[in-house]
Amino acid sequence: MEKKDVIIIGAGLSGLACAHFLRRDRPELSVLVVEKSDHAGGVIRSHAEQGYLCEWGPHGFLDNKEESREILADLHLMDEVQRAPLQDFHRYLCRHGRLIALPQKPQELVTSKLLSTWDKLRLLGDLWRKPLAGHPTIGQWAAYRFGKGVLPLIDAAVTGTFSGDFNRLSMDAVMPGVRRLEMEHGSLLKGLKKKAKGKKDKTLVFLPAMINFGQGLERLVQSMAVGHDIETECVVHGLEKSGDGWQLATSSGTMIANHIICALPMNSALPLLAPFGPPVQKVPESYICNVSLGFADNGAIPKGFGYLAPECENRFVMGCMFTSRMFPGRAPQGKVLLEALVGGRRHPERLELADAEIVRRVVADLKDLLDLPAEPEFVKVLRPKSGIPQMEEDHLDLLAWRAKLEQRNPGLSLCGFGWDGIGINDMTQSAKSAVAAINQAGRVEQRPEVKPVYF
């Protein structure tokens, strides 16, 4: 049995990003990636049919994260990237049964119809309110600092990222950087102003772009997988210390390594880690289905990313992307591709419906908001098997537990879907720090950053 320097468990984006940074920064190490399924890439999968190109999982990511940009540059993918800059494409919020464009710049909020005059004035209440003690949910925190009028906007932002429930997601877990600014400056607005003043980080000043590829997002993980030693159809079901290294029990037999990076979604990692700590329950997840619809292009779809609908609007569709407006080439000439999302943390019961019923209700909902042609010419219901881990009440305890686990067990690093965030950019950042933990024998504590929120 050959002992590897590093074994990475999971060949999703996280595992592939770890393998990428290791090959680049520590080419002398022998690295093996083990993967349960028959292919690398995890939840990132594209689907091409009848000239339409849809996505099972992620629909793109923002080009404002250094670690992701490094991967694109290292793999010479920059030229292939399709960009939809936020400043050129509107995003819409469904409010009182119609679509309203979201302000592209903070100053546009003053004239926006999204908030009443009182709600706009109330935003400034943040300047005088003390930092909110305890561990509020995102909803509680936003209502306290900015007033209840802002909640539909916050709800929509959370729906667009977590497909989650802002009355359950933990503010401290999801936005630690924002909480830090609040604590340090007594107000988020004051903190942001100070931060923007002597600023090298321009992410709050310049809007980023949403990116994808002409062949779909699968192109990214396919490129990342090239040249690595990946053993597919190999399930890891046990992890234990062995001498000065680690031993894995897998469906292909026992494997040993000096270091293990467990790059799995939280609910796949926790059972493997159970022998190392207190019993940890499953993390809540949110499941969605993606209803892809192709219509004749009658000009009804604006040049925009799409829209989001907060729960108070009581709609069947959580949000819908105007995919072929963002990324041309995703629909045949003269057609448009829309991708509507259904389900989420609040409505898992909707996923119990048959495809035909989901499509019927999605089409009816969209037609109520958009002047679409009678019937779609293309319909595809994609039901991703993976859920999106939700960073709710106990998430900070889990992170503290992970930190202790890594400290007590040198040579073991954890990253992957749900630990340090849920987006592609969170995964690449977390993967880089897991790899750095191997290099430096321990995770380097980083100051929580302020992640700008884009709808």
Ligand X SMILES: Cc1cc2nc3c(=O)[nH]c(=O)nc-3n(C[C@H](O)[C@H](O)[C@H](O)COP(=O)(O)OP(=O)(O)OC[C@H]3O[C@@H](n4cnc5c(N)ncnc54)[C@H](O)[C@@H]3O)c2cc1C
Per CB under 6 A, residues contacting ligand X are: 9-15, 34-37, 42-44, 57-61, 235-236, 263-265, 268, 288, 384, 386, 388, 416-417, 422-424, 427
Distance, CA of 276 to CA of 295 (rounded, Å): 53
In the bound complex, what is the minimum distance in angstroms from residue 182's beta carbon to ligand X? Answer: 25
Which three-class secondary structure state does DSSP give residue 171? helix
Provide Rg for the chain, Cα atoms. 22
Nearer to ligand X by Cβ, of 270 and 450: the residue is 270
Nearer to ligand X by Cβ, of 114 and 359: the residue is 359
Distance, CA of 320 to CA of 306 (rounded, Å): 5
3-state secondary structure 326-383: HCCCCCCCCEEEEEEEEECCCCHHHHHCCHHHHHHHHHHHHHHHCCCCCCCCEEEEEC
Q: Which tokens in the block code for residue 67?
A: 């670690």
In the bound complex, what is the minimum distance in angstroms from residue 168's beta carbon to ligand X? Answer: 18
Question: At 280, which helix (H) or strand (E)?
Answer: none
Nearer to ligand X by Cβ, of 187 and 223: the residue is 223
In the bound complex, what is the minimum distance in angstroms from residue 184's beta carbon to ligand X? Answer: 28
CA angle 187, 192, 195 (to 5 degrees): 125
In the bound complex, what is the minimum distance in angstroms from residue 268's beta carbon to ligand X? Answer: 4
Nearer to ligand X by Cβ, of 11 and 171: the residue is 11
Nearer to ligand X by Cβ, of 57 and 304: the residue is 57
In the bound complex, what is the minimum distance in angstroms from residue 11's beta carbon to ligand X? Answer: 5
In the bound complex, what is the minimum distance in angstroms from residue 245's beta carbon to ligand X? Answer: 18
Nearer to ligand X by Cβ, of 150 and 209: the residue is 209
Nearer to ligand X by Cβ, of 164 and 423: the residue is 423
CB 303: neighbour CB atoms within 10 A? 11
In the bound complex, what is the minimum distance in angstroms from residue 290's beta carbon to ligand X? Answer: 7
Nearer to ligand X by Cβ, of 251 and 440: the residue is 251
Burial class (CB in 10 A: 0-12, 13-18, 19+), 203: middle
Nearer to ligand X by Cβ, of 66 and 184: the residue is 66
Closest CA to 395 of 280, 234, 248, 309: 280
Closest CA to 141 of 183, 101, 99: 183
Which three-class secondary structure state does DSSP give residue 245? strand
Q: DSSP assignment of 389-442, as one string?
A: E---TTHHHHHHHHHHHHHHSTTEEEE-TTTS-SSHHHHHHHHHHHHHHHHHTS
In the bound complex, what is the minimum distance in angstroms from residue 410's beta carbon to ligand X? Answer: 22
In the bound complex, what is the minimum distance in angstroms from residue 287's beta carbon to ligand X? Answer: 8
